[in-house]
Amino acid sequence: MGWSIPIGTVKGTVIRIHVTFLLFLIWIGGMHYAQGGAPAALEGVVFIVLLFACVLLHEFGHVFAARRYGVRTPDITLLPIGGVARLERIPEKPSQELVIALAGPAVNVVIAALLYAALAAGGFNPGLTPGSPLGGGSEIQNPAVGMLERLAWVNVFLVVFNLIPAFPMDGGRVLRALLAQRMGYGRGTAVAATIGQGVAFALGLLGLFGNPMLLFIALFVYLAASSEAHAVQIREVSRGVMANDAMITRFESLSPGSVVEDAVQCLIHTTQHEFPVVDGSGRLRGVLTRDDMIRALRDRGPDTPVLEVMRSDIPVIGQRQNLEEALRLMRENSLPAVGVTDADGRLIGLITPENVGEMMMIQSAWPKGRAGGGPGGGGGSRLGGRAA
């Protein structure tokens, strides 16, 4: 995730802190300083750090549950609104996703139970009555309430909040897993995403009555639900489709000796946004995007060699590999394209987010039950076609 700072690695999972989280800590410190000076500021920051330590443990609950099913977890990012564990993939078996989703809240249940036991051993009885420290969220900022009591309450809150049936909360994934057992993964995701958007709408309405934070959470939940549904739709479309069924085959390419001015002429006279740089043997050297081209033209001039401004980290896949592999590479590395090669390693096509989106639109419009099943469905249809 962009604008994040790595602070350590645990069992192969990189822990990152988003810049906005650091700004959030500064804001918390400043707010408490204005109320009670330096001691209050220090206590406020320490409490938030401990709270997010609980959030981090929550995310590692997901991580270790996912590893049980062979799913890699590249990193965890801490944001002001919580943590995000990035999984390489979500298991297709609903029972496995159910375990992974519930593992995070289960960690908070354990933390709350341990804190409760520690408080009880110390002679304090944190009953969940309206006037007790664990009896309501309003007590979380009460300076008269001890830090352990507040942490115990906040872990209870994390369990309840994360089980709201809306993406990206764990409750949305639990709901999707339960629905997928009855109606399939794609349909289950669509229904769960719709419910999540309904929850977001309800949170937004509540936010209009004096809680701006709920408006922010509602927007985040709505966008996350839409993103999850879109990602699964792409995955469903790509399943069983070969790279050569979805690749662009009619495109302009640049040579290693080309300069930015040559690329500009291609941009003007075509509808392309990504231009592959191909050597004399037909092998892909990199891709020059429209944005990189314009930036180079402005900052370095039209005579700049494309080799100096292209993206050279563009991977290639074989034409008989699954389209899902290309999508995974683009998603994990934020790539503008993936090259498709023949058996001799020569570039024969490109897969871009734009042409995959067009493929999705075509498939959604394809008449139900028609022979062939749309692009990649066995009817011989191919986006772009192979140039003669």
Residues catalogued as catalytic? 59
List of residues 6+ apart from 213 with CB closer than 8 A: 207
Q: Give counts: helices (H), strands (E), the chain.
A: 12, 9
Contact 44, 32 (CB under 8 A): yes
List of residues 6+ apart from 288 with CB closer than 8 A: 254, 263, 274, 275, 277, 306, 309, 310, 311
58 is in an annotated binding site: yes
32 is in an annotated binding site: no
Sign of CA dihedral 180, 183, 185, 187: negative
Structure tokens at 327: 């999508």
Closest to 195 measured CA to CA, from 169, 217, 214: 169
**Per-residue DSSP letters for 73-122?**
--EEEEETTEEEEE-S---SSHHHHHHHHHHHHHHHHHHHHHHHHHHHHT
62 is in an annotated binding site: yes
**What residue numbers does the annotated binding site cover?**
58, 62, 170
Residue ranges of the binding site for Zn(2+): 58, 62, 170
